[in-house]
Every structure is written in structure tokens, then in C-alpha cells.
Amino acid sequence: MKKSNKQPTYFLVFALLFTVLIACNKDEEDKPVGTEAINFIQPDSTTIIAAAGELVDFSLYLAIDAPIDSIRGAYFIDTAMNINNLTYNDMQTEFFVQVFTDSLNVQTVSGTLQMPLGRNASVPFQAYFSGSTTPFIAQKYDAVRVVFRLDSDNLSYEKQLKIIVN
């Protein structure tokens, strides 16, 4: 009577398959999927709420078809509540600049933005509230519009983050 040695073979195949699956999942987590040149890892939304003076951490995944030269971040204090199509040239305060010299077309960058304390030195922010007590009246609040600009040779890409001040 012959004894079968198939059990160790099955175990080896299972272990190999398990290792491959874990490796594939790790790659997906390390490289966020996105269709834009600038993708937010943190925050994970294009609109967030923060308090005046609060530190807002950000992490960006950049991916284009050419080497990335730099990424910049600047903000504009929006008191009109209706400015949606701002560009980097409209921004008032640059707070972040990262220059790349390694000629890669994929980069991950992180940084921190300290929220301003108010509209200016003497006027505090008008805080966000979730609804109006009077029907059909728009919500009133101030926001900080942040635009990130990615530059590569003669190409530029921009993405906006809206921070509602609470």
C-alpha cells in the first residue's frame, strides 16, 4: 500500500497563492487609483470642515505621463461662498512648494496647512452652520479655497480643496 504525499503539495500551493494575493493587495493600497493628475489621499474628499487656526494635514498622489517638476499649494479666503473655479493665479497665499529633481512621473507628497485665524487680522471667520432657520435662505459661512498646482515642462494641472471654516 502506497502512502500519498499530496497534502504537503497542496499546502505549498495554498501558501504561495496566499502570498501572491497579499502582495497584490499591498500594491493597490500603496498606489491610489485615480483618473486625475492630482489625487487626494488625505483628506479623502475635496470638501472638508476645519476650525480657524487648526492644522490640516494633506497627502497627495501625483501621476502624469511626463516627469513632474514641482507641486505648489496656495489658498484664498472665500467670503462670497460662490467662487468655485479659482485657479492658482487667483490665490493670495502660497504655503507649500515641493520641487522634484529625480525625473519621475509618479510622486507622493505630504504637508500641513495651518488654517488662518480669520478673514484678516481684525475680522474673524463667519462659521458654518448646517441649515438655515428661515426657509430658502442660503447657508452663510466662510471657506478657505486651496489650489494645488502640479507643473511638468510646459504642462500644468490643478486641483481645488474647499475647507469650510467651523
pLDDT per 10-residue tile (average), the chain, 166 residues: 58 55 48 79 93 95 95 90 78 94 94 92 76 57 91 93 88
CATH number at residue 73: 2.60.40.2470
Are 150 and 35 in contact by the 8 Å Cβ rule? The answer is: no
Domain of 99? Answer: 35-165
Any domain includes 60: yes
State residue 57's pLDDT score: 96
* Other residues' Cβ atoms within 10 Å of the Cβ of residue 163: 24
Listed in order, strand segments (DSSP E) in the chain are: 38-42, 47-50, 55-63, 70-78, 93-99, 106-114, 143-152, 155-165
Helix, coil or strand: residue 136: coil
> Pairing state of beta strands 155-165 and 143-152?
antiparallel
State residue 65's pLDDT score: 92
State residue 79's pLDDT score: 79
Any domain includes 28: no
State residue 139's pLDDT score: 63
Any domain includes 103: yes
> How many domains, the chain?
1
State residue 18's pLDDT score: 55
Any domain includes 72: yes
Are 4 and 122 in contact by the 8 Å Cβ rule? The answer is: no
Any domain includes 160: yes
**What single-letter DSSP state applies at residue 153?**
T
Residue 163 cell numbers, joined: 475647507
Residue 28's H or E segment, with its range, is helix 6-30
Residue whose grid cell is 497579499: 22
Any domain includes 88: yes
Residues in contact with 98: Cβ distance below 8 Å, sequence separation at least 6, in sequence order:
70, 71, 72, 109, 111
State residue 25's pLDDT score: 47
pTM metric for this prediction = 0.73
Are 149 and 71 in contact by the 8 Å Cβ rule? The answer is: yes
Any domain includes 63: yes
Any domain includes 46: yes
